[in-house]
Chain A
Amino acid sequence: MGKTLFDKVWDAHVVDTIDNGPQILYIDKHLIHEVTSPQAFNELEQRNIPIFRPDQIVATADHNTPTINQHLPIKDALSRKQLEQLSENCIKNNITLYELGHKYNGIVHVMAPELGITQPGMTIVCGDSHTSTHGAFGTIAFGIGTSQVAQVFASQCLLLTKPKSLRVTVNGTLKNGVLPKDVILYIISKIGTNAGTGYFCEYAGDVFENMSMEGRMTVCNMSIEMGARGGMIAPDETTFEYVKGRKFAPKGEEFDQKVAYWKTLPTDEDAVFDKEYHFDAADIEPMLTYGTNPGMGIKISEFIPETSDASFDKALEYMDFKKGETLIGKPINFVFIGSCTNSRIEDFRIAANYIKGKQKADNVTAWLVPGSKQVEAQIIEEGLKSIFDDAGFELRQPGCSACLAMNDDKIPQGEYCVSTSNRNFEGRQGQGARTILASPLMAAATAVEGKIIDITKQLN
């Protein structure tokens, strides 16, 4: 029987198998950040265990960093301490760190791919659930807890039971105005937030084949929102082109050899998946969420379902929405374009292209938060910043920002925020904040109109 992309990469990294137990999986790259690593460093230090492979670890500061005045000392004492501790730990252990202000600093899942750290066929872990993003390269990448961060520190390995395989195929042509974010929100709305639990997902079909790397990252990023530990897309010419020439990408002959290997990775024709879903691209529209988990999404033309159960009712009460109503026309005061889902240059190009020549509505506070210093530089270089400035949008400095509201970037109590991030949980963007997940295009349009509109009407 043939092997899946996931099987090939997984099997190539198995060091050993415990009888009736998990396997020891070798980890090529370990990404760390300030929030989930300190306790792991402490644990190793207490147990007097050295870091096994510091060269395979890369650190960045992103979750807890301010997005204005990054050159000034951080005001919040606890946040400052967390960053200081990261620096100390990295220096002490010879770990590469792109700290706040460094030209390569950024959200861990934006920074690593753009530096060519992420490559096909690798295993990558990080103490962050959206590590699934890197799967866009045909990489096994997944989030781990802090105890596992300590395990990888100690041994560059993890004890894991091989997950089951799931494939989501989307064929056809996407409609005008339908972006990768809509594709993944659509999939999650159809299969639910735990359809993927226990599985690793592969996305297949011409919709993904025709997608840019940025788009593929947006899709794989949200695999965790359907419960899957990770998602993958087979590496192809688009992948190789993206990786080529990046800072840590293999060069010259080595690159060619790698490409030859990477070409062997796609799923064999006769491989069998444990579970499969098929969708038609033509059925997808711009998507919005109306509830408090990413599975509670509808197409722009649809109405909030009339479902009745306690959790559903609780979610609608939190959002202050009614069953059977449309979201079109809802006044919105906050718009956030950012997070590891949608903060790459392509996302800002899409937003700028829509915003150009228009003005932000007066009632809206619109935050644009690039995923990395490199994206920020590109925004300026390509002249997008002046479009944003002219339209009244606020371009901030890179970081996770209002995606998880650990810093000051919080949406106030009771306010709605149309957000390009990945989680609409209660309080995720600030206590009592109400998040509506959407694509960067829908977010830009909301900021201009001051309310939710049916973008397809404008485009057609």
Chain B
Amino acid sequence: MSETRFSSREIVRIDFRSNVQHVPPHMPPSVQKATTKFLGTRASVVDLVGDEQWQTLRQAGHDLRLHTITHLDYYLEMLEENVTKAGGHVHWARDAEEARRIVLEIARGGSRNVKRAVKAKSMATEEIGLNHFLIDAGIQTLETDLGEFIIQLAGVGPSHIIVPAVHLTKEGIAALFREKLGVDAPTDPIQLAAIARAKLREEFLAADMGISGANFLVAETGTLVIVSNEGNGRMCTTLPPLHVAVVGIDKVVPDMESLNVLLKLLPRSATGQKMSAYTSFITGPRRTDAENGPQEFHLILLDNGRTRILQDEIARETLLCIRCGVCLNVCPVYNNVGGHAYGWAYSGPIGAILVPQLLGTEVAGDLPFASSLCGACAEYCPVKIPIPEILLRLRHRVVEGDPVGGPSASPLLRVAAEVGGRTLGQPWLYELGTQLLKVIQIPLRKDGWLPNLPPPLNRWTMSRPMPAFGADFRDWWRDRTPEGRQHNVARKIGLGALVVGLITLAAWLLARKKSR
């Protein structure tokens, strides 16, 4: 599934397990500015709801999504039945390749012969790499969400779930417009948006096919729900005679009432809005010729690894996600490396748990390590996904393997983890180790710091010095009582003798080896 990877140009993918010292050199300040602003507007609308009510809503959102995904087969069948009743066509795609093939078959099927497609913003189509595929097949495929339009021009993937071009400045975007569109573009966001509007108007009117994703699929009514702000989503699903939606099977909700909760949580968490400008509810194609809307509607239900995620009782909560992106905004790692460092369509904490499960830990096994486990993501998540717990679960899978996936870490790491675990499990061995380190560090020590460690530990010291091993908490604690002090003295004599003994032994062995 490497086709879901972005083109490598301009992108510095970080290997979060082996390479912690290379923060992207051009990490733009616009990212942190944007995430800070998002969090500010979110806080003000959440405050209006009131903390108690907000927590009730989050719990309701969690329970609702969990109920749905733990009865997913039932709701998917209900959805299929109702979309079909409404005159829509339902397709099932096991993986990205199958989903792309189905879209192309629809575009070329019957008398259709689609030449131009317009796209609404959709993470599922980013995930399956649909644009490149359709363009290679000779169908002009154009992103119409402003942010997606910009990154399509730039030839890169999204760096944020909600604001895909957040890594670019207005100067960069103006330069891109001048280069790719051949227009005189000023560095003013409002005028840049106007240029995109004018360019895309004609495309909406001329397109033969509209492609979208969905925020929710309502099983009870067979309804596709699209939350958007610009109006391009409405254009793509109203103007072309054919509408094709590609949606992950995890997006189902039982009924309209479910949206009472989810439509309160999503816009507030994502953009700090009480409601997004447009929330469209689409059930099948248009019902009469006198109405606007497409004559034909196709829904492609995408698995692409989601059924595998369901297998693990803890990690399956990943599928509760409603793609609001708030976990990116609060994540200290995302804020320092940006979305492209994750190397896949989904970034930030949700990307760190979703991608290794979608693609397998052997492909993206470093992503669960892209976290300090600070827990901010779980605190902000509107559907209470226990992201830190799932990160640990996946780290475990990477190193030791579990029923869902075999270990993918190098044997060396596994041995190191094993040795570390045993040492920490034996107090005497641990104490001996700490005393030994105090001696071994002497030649490396400088003003209370260890500025340069030998390889492979130099990976740490290349980016920051290591504090020297010094005071010992357990010593200090025991020193507070007379018995403890006695114990400390005895222990120090014992350990000192042991350390001296070990060093003497080592020196003797070394001398013997040399004299041979």
A and B: interacting chains: no
- Which residues does A use to contact B, with CB under 8 Å? none
- Which residues does B use to contact A, with CB under 8 Å? none
